[in-house]
Structure 1
Amino acid sequence: MSDFKRHGLVMVGILVTVVAVRILFPTAFDGVGNGLVTGLHDFKAWVRGG
């Protein structure tokens, strides 16, 4: 399996997980989602060397 296909499967898996969590826990996900967005933003800044 190529790296591109593997990366695609990982992204689809994450997307499905996020959608499932949002459907199962719509209210609980609000706080977690905000924290996740902030964490992801910080991670991207760190990856770029910022």
Structure 2
Amino acid sequence: MYGKLVSTEKIGAKSYNIDIKDFKNNIYQFACLINNKWYYSKVIIIN
């Protein structure tokens, strides 16, 4: 399974938990820590 990053936006929070799988739209959403800042990322899955 491969993923293509389609969007990333900054989150104004020190900690963040998100793990949403939308298989209907082939989208995987998660939070990632970049340079000590949380970002909300949306990845489109390419099977």
TM-score normalised per structure 2: 0.25
Q: Which structure has the highest helix share of the two? A: 1
Q: Which structure has the highest strand share of the two? A: 2
Computing the radius of gyration over CA atoms, which structure comes out larger, 1 or 2? Answer: 1
